Structure 1
Amino acid sequence: MIYVIATFRIRPAALESFVEAAYALIDVARRQPGCLYYDLHASVTDPDRVMCFEQWQDRPAFDRHLATPDVASFSAAIEGLVLSSKIEIIHPDSIDTL
Protein backbone atom coordinates (compact mmCIF):
# COMPACT_ATOMS: atom_id res chain seq x y z
CA MET A 1 0.00 0.00 0.00
CA ILE A 2 1.17 3.53 -0.75
CA TYR A 3 -0.01 6.97 0.26
CA VAL A 4 0.13 10.01 -2.00
CA ILE A 5 0.04 13.61 -0.83
CA ALA A 6 -0.31 16.19 -3.61
CA THR A 7 0.07 19.78 -2.41
CA PHE A 8 -0.95 22.69 -4.63
CA ARG A 9 -0.40 26.41 -4.16
CA ILE A 10 -3.32 28.07 -5.94
CA ARG A 11 -3.42 31.53 -7.49
CA PRO A 12 -5.52 33.97 -5.44
CA ALA A 13 -9.21 33.79 -6.41
CA ALA A 14 -8.71 30.51 -8.33
CA LEU A 15 -9.79 28.13 -5.58
CA GLU A 16 -13.33 27.56 -6.84
CA SER A 17 -12.16 26.64 -10.35
CA PHE A 18 -9.45 24.39 -8.95
CA VAL A 19 -11.87 22.56 -6.65
CA GLU A 20 -14.30 22.00 -9.53
CA ALA A 21 -11.56 20.42 -11.67
CA ALA A 22 -10.22 18.39 -8.74
CA TYR A 23 -13.58 16.88 -7.84
CA ALA A 24 -14.17 15.83 -11.45
CA LEU A 25 -10.92 13.83 -11.24
CA ILE A 26 -11.58 12.55 -7.72
CA ASP A 27 -14.98 11.19 -8.73
CA VAL A 28 -13.37 9.10 -11.49
CA ALA A 29 -10.30 8.11 -9.47
CA ARG A 30 -12.32 6.71 -6.58
CA ARG A 31 -13.75 4.11 -8.99
CA GLN A 32 -10.39 3.05 -10.43
CA PRO A 33 -8.95 -0.35 -9.51
CA GLY A 34 -6.53 -0.04 -6.61
CA CYS A 35 -7.83 3.29 -5.28
CA LEU A 36 -8.55 2.92 -1.57
CA TYR A 37 -8.99 6.60 -0.66
CA TYR A 38 -8.89 9.93 -2.53
CA ASP A 39 -10.00 13.27 -1.14
CA LEU A 40 -9.27 16.99 -1.27
CA HIS A 41 -8.58 19.17 1.76
CA ALA A 42 -7.98 22.90 2.15
CA SER A 43 -5.31 24.20 4.48
CA VAL A 44 -6.69 25.78 7.62
CA THR A 45 -3.70 28.13 7.85
CA ASP A 46 -3.17 29.09 4.19
CA PRO A 47 -6.19 29.86 1.98
CA ASP A 48 -4.14 29.36 -1.19
CA ARG A 49 -2.99 25.81 -0.39
CA VAL A 50 -4.94 22.60 -1.01
CA MET A 51 -3.91 18.98 -0.67
CA CYS A 52 -5.10 15.73 -2.17
CA PHE A 53 -4.67 12.74 0.11
CA GLU A 54 -4.71 9.40 -1.64
CA GLN A 55 -4.24 5.77 -0.70
CA TRP A 56 -3.51 3.20 -3.39
CA GLN A 57 -3.18 -0.56 -3.27
CA ASP A 58 0.31 -0.33 -4.79
CA ARG A 59 2.53 1.83 -7.00
CA PRO A 60 1.39 0.18 -10.26
CA ALA A 61 -2.24 1.12 -9.46
CA PHE A 62 -1.17 4.74 -8.87
CA ASP A 63 0.92 4.75 -12.06
CA ARG A 64 -2.09 3.50 -14.05
CA HIS A 65 -4.11 6.36 -12.55
CA LEU A 66 -1.46 8.88 -13.62
CA ALA A 67 -1.60 7.55 -17.19
CA THR A 68 -5.36 8.09 -17.59
CA PRO A 69 -6.86 10.78 -19.83
CA ASP A 70 -8.65 12.06 -16.71
CA VAL A 71 -5.35 13.05 -15.08
CA ALA A 72 -4.24 14.71 -18.33
CA SER A 73 -7.52 16.66 -18.46
CA PHE A 74 -7.13 17.70 -14.82
CA SER A 75 -3.57 18.87 -15.44
CA ALA A 76 -4.69 20.94 -18.42
CA ALA A 77 -7.64 22.40 -16.48
CA ILE A 78 -5.49 23.60 -13.57
CA GLU A 79 -2.50 24.80 -15.59
CA GLY A 80 -3.29 28.49 -15.19
CA LEU A 81 -4.66 28.12 -11.66
CA VAL A 82 -1.64 26.64 -9.87
CA LEU A 83 1.52 28.48 -8.84
CA SER A 84 3.34 25.34 -7.67
CA SER A 85 2.74 21.71 -6.83
CA LYS A 86 4.48 18.86 -5.06
CA ILE A 87 3.58 15.18 -5.05
CA GLU A 88 4.95 12.87 -2.37
CA ILE A 89 4.58 9.11 -2.69
CA ILE A 90 4.97 7.36 0.63
CA HIS A 91 6.00 3.71 0.42
CA PRO A 92 6.45 1.46 3.45
CA ASP A 93 10.22 1.99 3.24
CA SER A 94 10.74 5.29 1.39
CA ILE A 95 9.26 8.56 0.17
CA ASP A 96 9.42 9.62 -3.50
CA THR A 97 8.79 13.18 -4.66
CA LEU A 98 7.49 14.03 -8.16
Structure 2
Amino acid sequence: MIYVAATFRIRPGTIEAFVAAAYIAIDTARREPGCLLYDLHASVTDPDRLVCLEQWDSRETFDRHLAAPHIATFSEAIKPYVLSTRVEIIHPDHVDTI
Protein backbone atom coordinates (compact mmCIF):
# COMPACT_ATOMS: atom_id res chain seq x y z
CA MET A 1 0.00 0.00 0.00
CA ILE A 2 1.16 3.55 -0.74
CA TYR A 3 0.00 7.04 0.11
CA VAL A 4 0.26 10.03 -2.19
CA ALA A 5 0.27 13.69 -1.18
CA ALA A 6 -0.03 16.09 -4.11
CA THR A 7 0.39 19.70 -3.00
CA PHE A 8 -0.77 22.46 -5.34
CA ARG A 9 0.13 26.13 -4.98
CA ILE A 10 -2.59 27.98 -6.89
CA ARG A 11 -3.03 31.53 -8.13
CA PRO A 12 -4.88 33.71 -5.62
CA GLY A 13 -8.63 33.73 -6.18
CA THR A 14 -8.76 30.56 -8.30
CA ILE A 15 -9.81 27.97 -5.73
CA GLU A 16 -13.38 27.68 -7.04
CA ALA A 17 -12.21 27.08 -10.61
CA PHE A 18 -9.58 24.57 -9.45
CA VAL A 19 -12.10 22.63 -7.36
CA ALA A 20 -14.59 22.56 -10.25
CA ALA A 21 -11.91 21.07 -12.52
CA ALA A 22 -10.86 18.60 -9.82
CA TYR A 23 -14.34 17.29 -9.06
CA ILE A 24 -14.59 15.02 -12.10
CA ALA A 25 -11.04 13.71 -11.65
CA ILE A 26 -11.71 12.93 -7.99
CA ASP A 27 -15.01 11.19 -8.72
CA THR A 28 -13.43 9.09 -11.48
CA ALA A 29 -10.31 8.22 -9.46
CA ARG A 30 -12.38 6.96 -6.53
CA ARG A 31 -13.86 4.31 -8.84
CA GLU A 32 -10.51 3.12 -10.21
CA PRO A 33 -9.27 -0.34 -9.21
CA GLY A 34 -6.82 -0.08 -6.34
CA CYS A 35 -7.97 3.35 -5.12
CA LEU A 36 -8.64 3.22 -1.39
CA LEU A 37 -8.82 6.97 -0.68
CA TYR A 38 -8.83 10.10 -2.86
CA ASP A 39 -9.73 13.50 -1.47
CA LEU A 40 -8.85 17.17 -1.89
CA HIS A 41 -8.19 19.40 1.13
CA ALA A 42 -7.70 23.15 1.49
CA SER A 43 -5.19 24.59 3.92
CA VAL A 44 -6.77 26.49 6.80
CA THR A 45 -3.70 28.76 7.03
CA ASP A 46 -2.95 29.33 3.33
CA PRO A 47 -5.91 29.89 0.96
CA ASP A 48 -3.67 29.26 -2.06
CA ARG A 49 -2.53 25.76 -1.05
CA LEU A 50 -4.51 22.59 -1.75
CA VAL A 51 -3.48 19.02 -0.97
CA CYS A 52 -4.83 15.91 -2.65
CA LEU A 53 -4.44 12.89 -0.36
CA GLU A 54 -4.59 9.47 -1.93
CA GLN A 55 -4.20 5.86 -0.83
CA TRP A 56 -3.54 3.10 -3.38
CA ASP A 57 -3.16 -0.62 -2.92
CA SER A 58 0.14 -0.57 -4.90
CA ARG A 59 2.49 1.64 -6.87
CA GLU A 60 1.35 -0.15 -10.02
CA THR A 61 -2.28 0.89 -9.60
CA PHE A 62 -1.16 4.46 -8.89
CA ASP A 63 0.97 4.46 -12.04
CA ARG A 64 -2.05 3.27 -14.06
CA HIS A 65 -4.05 6.09 -12.51
CA LEU A 66 -1.45 8.63 -13.61
CA ALA A 67 -1.67 7.30 -17.18
CA ALA A 68 -5.49 7.49 -17.26
CA PRO A 69 -7.06 9.93 -19.74
CA HIS A 70 -9.01 11.76 -17.05
CA ILE A 71 -5.75 12.72 -15.31
CA ALA A 72 -4.38 14.23 -18.52
CA THR A 73 -7.64 16.15 -18.92
CA PHE A 74 -7.47 17.34 -15.31
CA SER A 75 -3.82 18.39 -15.64
CA GLU A 76 -4.62 20.45 -18.70
CA ALA A 77 -7.71 22.01 -17.10
CA ILE A 78 -5.84 23.23 -14.00
CA LYS A 79 -2.83 24.71 -15.83
CA PRO A 80 -4.18 28.29 -15.69
CA TYR A 81 -4.61 28.06 -11.91
CA VAL A 82 -1.48 26.22 -10.72
CA LEU A 83 1.78 27.94 -9.84
CA SER A 84 3.55 24.79 -8.61
CA THR A 85 2.93 21.14 -7.80
CA ARG A 86 4.76 18.67 -5.58
CA VAL A 87 3.81 14.99 -5.52
CA GLU A 88 5.15 12.72 -2.77
CA ILE A 89 4.64 8.96 -2.99
CA ILE A 90 4.94 7.48 0.47
CA HIS A 91 6.00 3.82 0.57
CA PRO A 92 6.41 1.86 3.79
CA ASP A 93 10.20 2.27 3.63
CA HIS A 94 10.85 5.44 1.58
CA VAL A 95 9.33 8.50 -0.09
CA ASP A 96 9.54 9.27 -3.83
CA THR A 97 8.93 12.74 -5.22
CA ILE A 98 7.70 13.35 -8.78
State the TM-score, normalizing by the size of structure 2.
0.99
Q: CA shift at 1:12, angstroms?
A: 0.8
Q: In the alignment, which residue of structure 2 is the partner of 1:34?
A: 34
Give ranges in structure 2 of 5+ residues lacking alignment. none
Q: In the alignment, which residue of structure 1 is the partner of 2:58?
A: 58
Q: How far does the alpha carbon of each residue in 1:11-47 deviate from its partner, in whole angstroms, 9 at most, with x for none?
A: 0111101001111100000000000000000001000
Q: Distance between the aligned counterparts of 1:12 and 1:44, measured in 2?
A: 14
Secondary structure of the residue aligned to 2:8 is: strand
Q: Distance between the aligned counterparts of 2:80 and 2:69, measured in 1?
A: 19
One-letter amino acid of the structure 1 residue matched with residue 35 of structure 2 = C
RMSD (CA atoms): 0.4
The 5 A counterparts of 1:5-84 are 5-84=5-84
What stretches of structure 1 move > 2 A for 4+ residues in a row? none
Q: Distance between the aligned counterparts of 1:89 and 1:21, measured in 2?
A: 23
Q: Distance between the aligned counterparts of 1:4 and 1:92, measured in 2?
A: 12
Q: Distance between the aligned counterparts of 2:85 and 2:77, measured in 1?
A: 14
Give ranges in structure 1 of 5+ residues lacking alignment. none
Q: Distance between the aligned counterparts of 1:24 and 1:13, measured in 2?
A: 21
Name the % identity. Answer: 67
One-letter amino acid of the structure 2 residue matched with residue 39 of structure 1 = D
One-letter amino acid of the structure 2 residue matched with residue 76 of structure 1 = E
